[in-house]
A and B are shown apart, each in its own frame.
Chain A
Amino acid sequence: MGIYSCIGQDLDTVRDSLMKGKSGIIADPLREELGFRSFLTGSLPEPNLNNVLDRRKRLCMSQEAAYAYLATSWAMEQAKIDSDFLAKNEVGILYGNDSSALAVIEGVDILREKKNTTLIGSGSVFQSMNSSVTMNLSVIFKLKGINLTIAGACASGSHAIGMGFMMIQSGLQDCIVCGGAQEVNPYAVGSFDGLSAFSMRNSSPTEASRPFDADRDGLVPSGGAATLILESYESAVRRGAPIFAEIKSYGFSSNGDHISVPNVDGPKRSILMAINNSDVTLDQIRYVNAHATSTPVGDFNEAMAISEVFGDHRPFVGSTKSMTGHEMWMAGASEVIYSIIMMQNSFIAPTINFEKPDEASAKLNINNKCERLPFDICLSNSFGFGGTNSTLIIKKL
């Protein structure tokens, strides 16, 4: 596992942030200057790859590809995957990404000013495509297996893991780099801000993302990249790789409904599909990492879906987005990493800022302080615009 997020750029720091309930959210002066309603964002440093990758490779990488490169390098190092293994095996990549707005806008700005397409430069096209992450990483790491970007809105990262799980389960691949990446810049989310979907708590950034809380007023955009190396058990054991967790199942559904307003039925079917396709029982799932982004309708409907599925079982339910903000295309992958870290270290991270439940979240067991609890099975939800839903069940090994 490797992660580049606003609550840490290494697994130990992320673990500490999750335990302490540390927020990675700030108010960005540039967004205020640009006329945003919400100035809030996850804050993370720009990667400096000057002495890491050659000019051509750097030139072709978008912001989110740079995040993903670092997360993937660390994941490969931890998984003991080296260039020799990559040369001798058909390792694939399935990565969630659904925009590369910064590169597109910078290119168009040059075109409008200069009226000459060549002056946009040679790297722009490779930065601008949604497949920016997979095209760059497959070249840099010389990957020879499946090479595909999964664009499933805010469920992209989760679907990427689900698709990787299915490809390995079917025997088509033995090892796949899976994950999700999300650019962090105002241009990527300007139109989203215009929908009044973001929190307006500009003067209190760390209190703005408050999933399931009755006084929530919208999400906080964020991003980075998260990579998990998915591998068949046999392959991982054969080469002595450290094994942290098992994907037990993948559920998915489409709401077939509104483009932006989520419902209860779609997420519920996704959760039930994951549970029904596994050998896991409801009482074995001790923690649900909810999609809950801190929007009024989304959190309400997810709370209803979770409570309708789990009934009296009442697992701990939490949203790490209370600390990270909404990592969007990355979220489905990063939240699996957050959940595995919790299982490895026997705790349930707090849903910070959850102070007062609403009618739906009152039905759930939501902790706003870190809970010490050994557990080994969790469920992670990710939902996106267009009503795309993904659910993963993960077991610690």
Chain B
Amino acid sequence: MIEPELIEKINRVLAEEFEVDPAIIKPDAMLMDTLDLDSLDLVDMVVLIEHNFGFTVKAKDFAEIKTFMDFYQFINSRMDGSK
């Protein structure tokens, strides 16, 4: 179960960081394509997670993430793991 507040926060920080309209962020949409990310942006994704969610990941951890839902679950599981 992912708290709606967490999804809202993830959407907000992604929209702010990557300067996209929050309305285009949908659970089934493809993360990389929707946010127009390249390999440099994944470095900033690591920074974004550390700043906003308090844990450190590696860029290679994003390899299995395709959709925003995958991303929500990734963040949620890591936050659960840190509790």
Contact = CB atoms under 8 A, between A and B. Distances in A.
A122 B40 contact: yes
Contacts of B18: 55
B59 interface: yes
A122 B38 CA distance: 11
Interface class of chain A by DSSP: helix
A384 to B, nearest CB: 34
Contacts of A121: 43-44, 47
Nearest to B42: A122
A54 interface: yes
Interface string B28-57: 000000000000110110110010000010
A30 interface: no
Contacts of B47: 118-119, 121
Interface SS majority for chain B: helix
A118 B59 contact: yes
A54 B19 contact: yes
Interface of B: 17-19, 40-41, 43-44, 46-47, 50, 56, 58-59
Across the A-B interface, the 10 shortest Cβ-Cβ residue pairs: A122-B43, A122-B40, A118-B46, A55-B19, A122-B44, A121-B47, A119-B47, A118-B43, A119-B50, A121-B44
Given A114-B50, A119-B46, A121-B47, 6 more contacts: A118-B47, A118-B59, A121-B43, A121-B44, A122-B41, A122-B44
25 contacts: A54-B19, A55-B17, A55-B18, A55-B19, A56-B40, A56-B41, A59-B44, A114-B50, A116-B56, A118-B43, A118-B46, A118-B47, A118-B58, A118-B59, A119-B46, A119-B47, A119-B50, A119-B56, A121-B43, A121-B44, A121-B47, A122-B40, A122-B41, A122-B43, A122-B44
